[in-house]
Chain A
Amino acid sequence: MAKTLFDKVWDSHVIEKIKDGPDVLFIDRHFIHEVTSPVAFVGLKNRGLKVMFPNKTFATADHNTPTLNQHLPIKDKLSAMQVKTLEKNCKDHGIDFWGLGHNKNGIVHVIGPENGITQPGLTIVCGDSHTSTHGAFGAIAFGIGTSEVEMVLACQSIMQQKPLKMRINIDGSLNSHVTPKDVAIYIISRLSSSGATGYFVEYSGEVFKNMSMEGRMTVCNLSIEMGARGGMIAPDEKTFEYIKSREYAPKGNGWEKALSYWKSLKTDNDAIFDKEFNFNASDIEPMITYGTNPGMAIPISKSIPGSGSDSESSYQKALDYMEFKEGEMMIGKKIDYVFLGSCTNGRIEDFRTFASLIKGRRKSDDVNAWLVPGSHKVLKSIKDEGILDILTDSGFQLREPGCSACLAMNDDKIPKGKYAVSTTNRNFEGRQGPGARTLLASPLVAAATAITGKITDPREII
């Protein structure tokens, strides 16, 4: 029977199919961090269990860590305690821990790919919904809860109902100043923030074929924001080239063997999806959100639309929170903060893109800009490629790696009532700090806005 890419990877990992129940799925790689793992380790202890395969789990500290003065002890006592607990748990169970100061430390979904841990055909999980990022390599990757983290630690398996399959195809070429982030936000705005719930998505078509690996990661990362468990893209030469020679990539004979398997990972021609969408690349413009979920997004040049599929009261609640009104233009609205970073847009290409627009210009004095690399390797590249000089010359400062203001668990909180154009993934109420107002956009829109202090179409910066 013809199979989709998703079927091929899923079916090859099923240990048992339970009648009228979930599949028992073997997990190849598991990432853990300080926030969603401690209670899982308590669970193991209470049951007297050990970690089954410590070498298949990788740990980093990223969610609550400071982005200034990382060489000093963490000031926040609870955050310090969480990081310390993770370090101890890893030591007790023989898991590799890449804590603060480690040269491989960074956001969990940035360090997996950049060290070659993320590979095609794998099942990858982490107690974080943006685990979908790793699907860019043709892996099945999805976020899990803490009980499931405990399952994977104890049994290297998880019990899951097989999701339905969706394909999103986009052909044509992208307009200028349209980035992978805009493509993803466009898709979410068309499907809504729950339009892919129950599905696993495969992205196909010229747009994704022509996209860089980092761009593909941005798109797959945002799959969860339309409710999908994950998104994936069939691996190709770009994928293999990206992985080759990275530390954890297969070597020698192992590489050849892996490569021949990876090349088989594509959807068969006559495979059937439960749902399919087709969009045209030329319809996509630079995007921005105006509400309190990522589906509430429009082309940056447009005005705020009516309530659509959400109830009138939920729509009004969102607009009241943002202090926006139906029919208002987004362009020209005053912005207080700009944030570049996160597992969505914190990789080197995002910094290159941001720098390309601000080069030779000055940051607006009215804007606070927080630029946070996704990892120490990204930070090093920013320095090595001369991007740091461009940023500094334009009046920007660079922080140290971590999740930072994406979820504001550390000190990087947008103050109450302030507006932030953010390259992150969620514009939920209070996501970037209690009372903070978030507008999701691409690194280019963030750069243009940082220069003018107002929401600015990057195509207008000449």
Chain B
Amino acid sequence: MAYDKFNILNTSAVPLNIDNVDTDQIIPARFLKATERKGFGENLFKDWRYNPDDTTIDSFPLNNKIYNGKILVAGKNFGCGSSREHAVWAIYDYGFRAVVSSFFADIFKNNCLNIGVLPVQVSEEFLIDIFFQIDTDPKSNFEINLEIQEFKIIETGKSEKFNISSYKKSNMSNGFDDIDYLINKKQEISKFANNSPY
């Protein structure tokens, strides 16, 4: 599925300073029963945002009105566990376009890149700087520049470069996905299949 092009994002951020956030927290399994990609945002972090009686847990950052913006900043090893792409659909549907952490789980990272959420991996030190900046002023703005692969704290001017392959960068900035690439390769794939012992 094609998605919005990603070039420069300038926005405030929502902090989630917890390590090892797994995809069961991002979207609990009981909300995976859809047959279409619709409405996952309302169940994002469901059991951390709401009590069992559906009342709001005010202390959770997504429920705290002082935080908003299109960037989610999270502790290390974000997105571990289940391969459910629904986790990224929920993040996207809620309104985030980028997730920042010092470390992402592999499948989650691939899923992000496949649907147009940019995973920005920064150093542990810089992640602390970002959390500190949000803590100091929740309205602080950040700039993600995909072309030059840079994450910047506007207030302090501090910035850090991040990695992304040139293939994925081109996909993100054009709104393409891997199938757009693969369907042009079908002849080669068929040839490969014919020569394969399996």
List residues of chain A with CB under 8 Å of any chain B CB: 15-16, 18-22, 24, 26, 28-29, 35-36, 38-39, 42-43, 46-47, 49, 52-53, 63-64, 76, 78-79, 81-82, 85, 119, 122, 127-129, 142-148, 150-151, 154-161, 163, 193-194, 197-198, 224, 227, 229, 257-258, 261, 293, 310-311, 313-314, 317, 407-409, 416, 426, 428-431, 434-435
A143 is contacted by which of B83, B177, B182, B197 (Cβ under 8 Å)? B83
CB distance from B23 to the nearest CB of A (A): 9
Task: Please report the C-alpha to C-alpha distance between residue A431 and residue B28 in the assembled complex, in whole angstroms.
Answer: 8
Number of A-B contacts (CB under 8 A): 205
- Does A145 lie within 8 Å of B88, measured CB to CB? yes
- On chain A, the residues within 8 Å of B77 by CB distance are 193-194, 197, 227
- Does A194 lie within 8 Å of B105, measured CB to CB? yes
Which B residues from 47 to 94 make CB contacts under 8 A with A? Answer: 47, 52, 75-77, 80-86, 88
- Does B80 lie within 8 Å of A416, measured CB to CB? no
- Does B47 lie within 8 Å of A429, measured CB to CB? yes
Q: A20-B167, A155-B186, A313-B18 are in contact. Are A35 and B32 (CB under 8 A)?
A: yes
Q: A20-B166, A26-B196, A28-B198 are in contact. Are A145 and B83 (CB under 8 A)?
A: yes
List residues of chain B with CB under 8 Å of any chain A CB: 1, 17-20, 22, 24-25, 28-30, 32-37, 47, 52, 75-77, 80-86, 88, 103-107, 110-111, 114-115, 165-168, 177-179, 181-183, 185-186, 188-189, 192-193, 196-198
B182 is contacted by which of A29, A154, A426 (Cβ under 8 Å)? A154
CB distance from B153 to the nearest CB of A (A): 21
In the complex, what residue of chain A is closest to B114 when comparing beta carbons? A147
Task: Please report the C-alpha to C-alpha distance between residue A39 and residue B90 in the assembled complex, in whole angstroms.
Answer: 14
Task: Please report the C-alpha to C-alpha distance between residue A293 and residue B114 in the assembled complex, in whole angstroms.
Answer: 26
B83 is contacted by which of A128, A257, A429, A430 (Cβ under 8 Å)? A128
**Which of A20, A119, A147, A409 has its CB near the most chain B CB atoms (within 10 A)?**
A147
- On chain B, the residues within 8 Å of A430 by CB distance are 24-25, 28, 47
- On chain B, the residues within 8 Å of A224 by CB distance are 81
- On chain B, the residues within 8 Å of A163 by CB distance are 106
- On chain A, the residues within 8 Å of B47 by CB distance are 429-430, 434-435
Can you offer 12 A-B residue contacts whose CB atoms are under 8 A? A24-B182, A147-B177, A157-B182, A159-B182, A194-B20, A194-B103, A257-B197, A258-B197, A407-B24, A409-B33, A430-B24, A430-B47
- On chain B, the residues within 8 Å of A43 by CB distance are 1, 179
CB distance from B172 to the nearest CB of A (A): 12
B103 is contacted by which of A47, A63, A145, A197 (Cβ under 8 Å)? A197
Closest 6 CB pairs of A and B: A21-B167, A145-B85, A78-B33, A145-B111, A143-B83, A147-B114
- Does A16 lie within 8 Å of B188, measured CB to CB? yes
Task: Please report the C-alpha to C-alpha distance between residue A261 and residue B18 in the assembled complex, in whole angstroms.
Answer: 47
- Does A293 lie within 8 Å of B115, measured CB to CB? no
CB distance from A262 to the nearest CB of B (A): 11
- On chain B, the residues within 8 Å of A19 by CB distance are 166-167
Task: Please report the C-alpha to C-alpha distance between residue A74 and residue B197 in the assembled complex, in whole angstroms.
Answer: 40
- Does A428 lie within 8 Å of B81, measured CB to CB? yes
- Does A311 lie within 8 Å of B105, measured CB to CB? no
Q: A18-B167, A129-B82 are in contact. Are A49 and B178 (CB under 8 A)?
A: no
Given A16-B188, A22-B165, A35-B33: 8 more A-B contacts, CB < 8 Å: A20-B165, A20-B166, A36-B83, A129-B83, A129-B107, A145-B107, A317-B18, A407-B24
- On chain A, the residues within 8 Å of B18 by CB distance are 313-314, 317
- On chain B, the residues within 8 Å of A434 by CB distance are 28, 30, 47, 52
Task: Please report the C-alpha to C-alpha distance between residue A159 and residue B185 in the assembled complex, in whole angstroms.
Answer: 12
A229 is contacted by which of B106, B188, B196 (Cβ under 8 Å)? B106
B189 is contacted by which of A129, A157, A227 (Cβ under 8 Å)? A157
- On chain B, the residues within 8 Å of A160 by CB distance are 110
- Does A147 lie within 8 Å of B52, measured CB to CB? no
A148 is contacted by which of B22, B34, B110 (Cβ under 8 Å)? B110
CB distance from B125 to the nearest CB of A (A): 14
CB distance from A157 to the nearest CB of B (A): 5
Task: Please report the C-alpha to C-alpha distance between residue A159 and residue B165 in the assembled complex, in whole angstroms.
Answer: 12
In the complex, what residue of chain A is closest to B33 when comparing beta carbons? A78
A155 is contacted by which of B30, B82, B84, B179 (Cβ under 8 Å)? B179
B106 is contacted by which of A16, A52, A227 (Cβ under 8 Å)? A227
- Does B80 lie within 8 Å of A155, measured CB to CB? no
- Does B179 lie within 8 Å of A21, measured CB to CB? no
- Does A408 lie within 8 Å of B83, measured CB to CB? no
